Structure 1
Amino acid sequence: MLTHFNEQQRARMVDVTHKQETERMAVAKSRVVMQPATLETIEQGKISKGDVLAVAQIAGVMAAKKTAEIIPMCHPIFTTGVDLQFKKTAEDTIEIKATVKTKGVTGVEMEALTAASAAALTIYDMCKAIDPEMVIGPTYLLQKTGGKSGNWSTSLEKG
C-alpha cells in the first residue's frame, strides 16, 4: 500500500510521529563503466581535476546528508554514519557501495541510493573530458536493516 497520498490523492510526507526509533542501515550500489584507459588514468592519479575517488567519496557523504533537500517527500534525518567504498570489478568498471546508518524513526534507503548516485555522477563529472561515453548504473538498494519491516536484501545482484 502506498502511503504517500492524502485523502484527496495528493502527495504528502508520511507522518512518522508514532514510529518506533530503531537502529537502521541501508546499503546501495552503483557503478561507472568507462574506457579501460580512463580507469587506468584514475588509478594513476592523473586526472587533471584531482583525486577522483577522494572527491567522489566526499560527494557521496555530502549527498547522503542532503537527501531530504532534493527528494521532496524524504524526511530529514540525523545520519550517524556514511561510508563509501570503491572497487574495480573489471578493467573498465568501478563499483560504488554506499552504506548509511541512523538511529531514528525512518529508514536511510534514499540516503544510501543518493550517496551512491552522487559518487557515480562525480566520477563522471571529473572524467567526462577524456571519456564522455561513460555509463552509470545500475544503481540499486542492496540491503536494509531496522524498522517495522525489518531486514531486507536483494534476492539477486544486478549486472
Structure 2
Amino acid sequence: MSGREESGEMAIDLEAIYQQAVELKDYIETLQKTLAEVLDSIESVKSSKNAIDELGKQNQEYLLLGDRKGNIMFRVSNIGNTKVIVHLGMQYFVEVDPQTAKRLLDDKEKELTDYSKALQNELAKSVEAYNQLAQVLSAIQAQAQKGG
C-alpha cells in the first residue's frame, strides 16, 4: 500500500475534474443559447397570434416587413381574414382559416413551452453539478495553498 492509502487519503485526478468542469461549462453555454432561441420562438408565435387577432379590423393600415431585418416595408390596408398561411415546420406550410391557424400556433407554443421547461430543468441540474465541481476544485486549491 502506498503512504496515501495507509493514511486514509484518496488520490484525486485533478486534471480529470478540471476537464469535466470545462466540458460542463461548454454544455451549460449550449443549453443557454438553445433556451434563448426557444424563448425567442415562443415570443414569435405569440406575436403571430396577436397579428391574427388584428386581421380584418375595419379601416386599419399595416406595415408588412419584406424581410426579417426590416430593410423594406409595405403599407397594406384591407387585408382579408379568410385565410392565412402557417408554417408547420421544416419546409411545410398550410393555408387555413384564422381560427385553425390560432389552434396550430397554440399547439406550437405549448410544444415550445414544454421544451423550454425541459431545457430549464437540464440547465439547473448542469449548473448545480458545475458548482459542485467548482467547490471541489476550490477546496483542492485552498488545500494546496496551505501546503497540505
Do the structures match in fold with TM over 0.5?
no
Relative CO higher for 1 or 2, CA cutoff 8 Å, sep ≥ 6? 1
* Structure with the larger strand share: 1
TM-score, reference length from structure 1: 0.25
* Structure with the larger helix share: 2
TM-score, reference length from structure 2: 0.26
